[in-house]
Amino acid sequence: MKKWDFSRWAGLSIAAIVSLAGGLLWFAVAAKVQDGGGATTSEGLLLGLWSVLYDTQAPSLSAMLAAVALALLLAAGIAIIERRITARYRRSTDKTSTPLAPKIIMAATRGVFAGPITITVLIPAHNEEASLPDTLDSLLSQSQPPDRVIVVADNCTDGTEHIAAARGVEVFRSVENVNKKAGALNQALAMLLPGQGDNDVVMIMDADTQLDDGFLAAAASRFANDRALMAVGGLFYGEPGHGLIGQFQRNEYIRYSRELKRRRGRVFVLTGTASLFRAAGLRAVAAARGGALPGIHGDVYDTAALTEDNELTIALKSLGALVTSPSECTVVTELMPTWRTLWNQRLRWQRGALENLGAYGVKPQTVRYWAQQLGIGYGVIALFGYLSLLLVMALSLDSWVWFPFWLGIGAVFTLERVVTVWRGGWRARGLAVLLIPELCFDMFLDFVYLKGIFDSAVGRRAAWTHLQHEVQPDVEEVGR
């Protein structure tokens, strides 16, 4: 019997749920207004549409309290569910379904010294001669340098291999690989993992990323102090440059890293820019592929996944693995220089996230991810509704009217935007305080979200894009 493909319908399911929730809220507010619960300036039409749009007064105290209570209830509910799931898998003794659960790992390694932590770095590279030198320099200058560095050269036609050899690191060439980054890494890991011990760690690092000093030392310390820890991910920040579009992305990354710090390293996705994995964890994932996990048996990465880092994180968590992203491990990564490249990148991320949810379905380990996607979907409705309201008001009023309540809400919202990017400097704060430009950037991401749902539903093939960097003259000399 053919297995039903849920991956195409995951996005539509999320869209249907948030649309229903938005419709119910609209109905509730409109009904309240028509019952006389809010001051209006016109008669209600179409379930109170115009009454709501022209309501110049603040919502009633009961409505505001209900909204705050509902938000707190949802947030607390998700946090409690996540904590219970984490505790459940930490204590699991089921070696069949959760072979990487901390209790099982601790029992298996108790009283055994497997040697010091060693780090082998794999850098997948496809024509990366422009960015690879800075990446290798940041890696080799770490206070605790890696024990081994391997550049995984995938169908390179430029000087990538020459640059790697000039800096004294190994080169692994992929063979007849047609599965992009995931396929090349699968080949390299198939060669590497069989010889790795319990305290051997593999780091996967993008060829356009630079580690901040102390990254490897902090990660090695984490692995040494916790035998059950299976993966450590980095917090990423954007590189300088690229004007306004670059600042939008830097602000976005700062806020994401700040959120992870607030969550004390409980990470949603282990970043593909730079993450370290205990070899035993990767071997367990490869063994579970084709059975408990999607993909081909023996592969670490599922080559069908559009976002391999997101999929691998869910795979590890599904096997009970403990993962974290500590604040000491930070990296600087590339930014998309144009709106077109940014659109393509985010569309791939969005589609990948939705299709991974479809592949894994609704299960305890994916509840947090479903909630995240529902939150994004509801945010799309809220932002479009808010901006549409502003537009209708601007077109309808004969003279400018100040609404103290809504100005106060706007001030609080602006303050939050500024505070959350404070460490980014005056450029970040200056952009945040203007508010409207960042709302327009959010709308851009919302359109990506909607396009991702549509493309997934119709089964449109996603395109991979490779950002071509310019080669600096001195770098070119080294590589030739």
pLDDT one-digit tens code per residue, 202-240? 999 998 888 888 899 999 999 999 999 999 998 889 989
Q: What token pair was written down for 462?
A: 């996603």
Query: Each residue of 235-245: pLDDT tens digit?
Result: 889 989 889 99
Answer whether residue 371 shows pLDDT above 50: yes
Task: Answer whether residue 246 is part of any domain.
Answer: yes
Domain end (from 313, 337, 361): 337
Answer whether residue 285 shows pLDDT above 50: yes
My answer on whether 410 and 311 are in the same domain is no
Distance CA(404)–CA(56), nearest Å, equals 10
Residues 6+ apart with CB under 8 A from 320: 89, 90, 92, 97, 98, 99, 100, 101, 102, 104
Residue from 17, 78, 16, 18 nearest 364 by CA: 78
Task: Answer whether residue 403 is part of any domain.
Answer: yes
My answer on whether 271 and 129 are in the same domain is yes
Task: Answer whether residue 287 is part of any domain.
Answer: yes
Distance CA(317)–CA(401), nearest Å, equals 52
My answer on whether 188 and 284 are in the same domain is yes
Domain end (from 337, 364, 380): 337
Distance CA(184)–CA(188), nearest Å, equals 6
Task: Answer whether residue 478 is part of any domain.
Answer: no
pLDDT at residue 474 in the model: 47
Given a contact cutoff of 8 angstroms between Cβ atoms, the answer to whether 448 and 342 are in contact is no
Answer whether residue 363 shows pLDDT above 90: no
My answer on whether 326 and 370 are in the same domain is no
Question: Can you name the residues that pair with 363 across neighbouring β-strands?
Answer: none
My answer on whether 320 and 424 are in the same domain is no
Task: Answer whether residue 475 is part of any domain.
Answer: no
My answer on whether 321 and 383 are in the same domain is no
Mean pLDDT calculated for residue range 286-294: 92
Answer whether residue 121 shows pLDDT above 80: yes
Residue from 16, 52, 41 nearest 385 by CA: 52
Confidence of residue 468 (pLDDT cuts 50, 70, 90): low
477 vs 429, more confident: 429
Residues 6+ apart with CB under 8 A from 371: 78
My answer on whether 333 and 437 are in the same domain is no
Question: Dihedral of CA 336/337/338/340: which sign?
Answer: negative
347 vs 43, more confident: 347
How many domains does the chain divide into? 2
Q: Report percent pLDDT > 90 for the chain.
A: 33
Mean pLDDT rounded to a whole number for the chain: 83
pLDDT at residue 476 in the model: 42
Domain end (from 285, 303, 337): 337
My answer on whether 321 and 388 are in the same domain is no
Q: What token pair was written down for 318?
A: 């599904």
pLDDT at residue 31 in the model: 64
pLDDT at residue 100 in the model: 92
- CATH number where 218 lies: 3.90.550.10
pLDDT at residue 421 in the model: 93
Task: Answer whether residue 153 is part of any domain.
Answer: yes
Confidence of residue 355 (pLDDT cuts 50, 70, 90): confident
My answer on whether 361 and 417 are in the same domain is yes
Residue range of the domain that includes 452: 1-9+41-56+352-464
Distance CA(43)–CA(54), nearest Å, equals 10
- Min mean pLDDT across 19-28, 203-212, 424-433 is at 19-28
Mean pLDDT calculated for residue range 381-407: 76
The whole model's pTM is what? Answer: 0.82
My answer on whether 367 and 311 are in the same domain is no
- Min mean pLDDT across 22-36, 38-52, 282-296, 315-329 is at 38-52
What stretch of H or E contains 124? strand 118-125
Answer whether residue 419 shows pLDDT above 90: yes
Task: Answer whether residue 300 is part of any domain.
Answer: yes
pLDDT at residue 96 in the model: 83
Q: What token pair was written down for 57?
A: 């007064």
Answer whether residue 247 shows pLDDT above 80: yes
My answer on whether 298 and 267 are in the same domain is yes
Confidence of residue 29 (pLDDT cuts 50, 70, 90): low
pLDDT at residue 284 in the model: 95
Answer whether residue 434 shows pLDDT above 60: yes
Task: Answer whether residue 2 is part of any domain.
Answer: yes
Confidence of residue 191 (pLDDT cuts 50, 70, 90): very high
Distance CA(478)–CA(329), nearest Å, equals 30
Query: Each residue of 155-168: pLDDT tens digit?
Result: 888 889 999 999 88
pLDDT at residue 475 in the model: 42
Question: Can you name the residues that pair with 200 across neighbouring β-strands?
Answer: 118
Mean pLDDT calculated for residue range 337-349: 91
pLDDT at residue 469 in the model: 61
Confidence of residue 265 (pLDDT cuts 50, 70, 90): low
My answer on whether 427 and 310 are in the same domain is no
